Amino acid sequence: EVQLAESGGGLVQPGGSLRLSCAASGFTFDSYWMSWVRQAPGKGLEWVANIKQDGSEKYYVDSVKGRFTISRDNAKNSLFLQMNSLRAEDRAVYYCARVIRSGYSTYYFDYWGQGTLVTVSS
Amino acid sequence: QTVVTQEPSFSVSPGGTVTLTCGLSSGSVSTSYYPSWYQQTPGQAPRTLIYSTNTRSSGVPDRFSGSILGNKAALTITGAQADDESDYYCVLYMGGGISMFGGGTKLTVL
């Protein structure tokens, strides 16, 4: 059974840093692209970042470029999101999601974790 | 900047049919955007419904279907049930590793 479990959320002051983790199990982790998706309270879903199987390609939504870094440790079946210079508008539930990306034929998120809440407040 | 558009809200009667759409602020949605659809109830993680325009994810009832209607992607629910009352999101793949969510549609079944 595919499972994704996020951790690392919490309360942080504006300008602070936080590192989120996502523990993956039930599938061959290093065969899949992975993503972070967030949802601010009462708002819609927002794609945040993608990372290729070997970590060689990373993509970000403009609002987090230069502040957030997505990474992975395939030996530990883990996905990470390092968040620096946090702002109030980064407050959200952060989900990790497995990506199905197959050449020119498809792209979608097929499995999701339950999310971890990040609160940015003084 | 391109925005993915969805109806903010929609209502449908039990047993009725509803079509939610997913468009672009500029341009048309085609299968090349690999539109996908997700269902989310409050406090829960999203659930994948449809991918690659019209392929149902495993375990998704066949009352959910996807298509391209005109210049938009569409999610149709035929024979709506009470537990279909949820938020629905589309995702378009914009290329270059970038994907975008629509703003979501809150569906009420009443």
pLDDT score for B14: 97
Model confidence band, residue A120 (pLDDT cutoffs 50, 70, 90): very high
Q: Which residues pair with A89 in a beta bridge?
A: none
Query: Could you give the angle at the alpha carbon of B60 between the alpha carbons of B54 and B64, nearest 5°?
Result: 50
Q: Are the CB atoms for A96 and A79 separated by under 8 Å? A: yes
- Determine whether the interchain pair A44/B98 forms a contact, defined as Cβ–Cβ distance below 8 Å: no
Q: Would you mind telling me the total number of residues written for chain B in this entry?
A: 110
Q: So what's the pLDDT on residue B100?
A: 96
Residues B31-89: tens digit of each pLDDT: 999 999 999 999 999 999 999 999 999 999 999 999 999 999 999 999 999 999 999 99
Helix ranges restricted to H, A6-104: none
* Interchain proximity B89–A110, CB inside 8 Å: no
Report the pLDDT averaged over residues B10-24: 97
Reduced to 3 states (helix: H, G, I; strand: E, B; else coil), residue B103 is: coil
Phi and psi based region of residue A74 (left: phi greater than 0; alpha: psi -120 to 50; beta: remaining): alpha
CB B18 within 8 A of CB B12: yes
- Amino acid occupying residue A94: Y
For chain B positions 51-110, those within 8 Å of chain A (CB to CB) are 51-52, 57, 87, 89, 91, 93, 96-104
pLDDT number for residue B96:
85
Q: In the predicted model, is pLDDT for residue A105 greater than 80?
A: no
Does the CB of A115 have a partner CB in chain B at under 8 Å?
yes
The whole-number pLDDT of residue A106 equals: 84
**C-alpha angle B25-A42-B69 in degrees, rounded to nearest 5:** 30
Q: Are B17 and B107 in contact (CB under 8 A)?
A: no
- Amino acid identity at B25: S
A103 pLDDT above the threshold of 80: no
Query: Is some CB atom of chain A closer than 8 A to the CB atom of B30?
Result: no
Q: Is the pLDDT of residue A97 over 90?
A: yes
Helices (H) and strands (E) in chain A, counts: 0, 11
For chain A, what percentages of helix, strand and coil (3-state, to nearest 5) are there?
10, 55, 35
Distance CA B28, CA B35 (A): 12
Strand A116-120 to strand B105-109: parallel, antiparallel, or no bridges (unpaired)?
Answer: unpaired
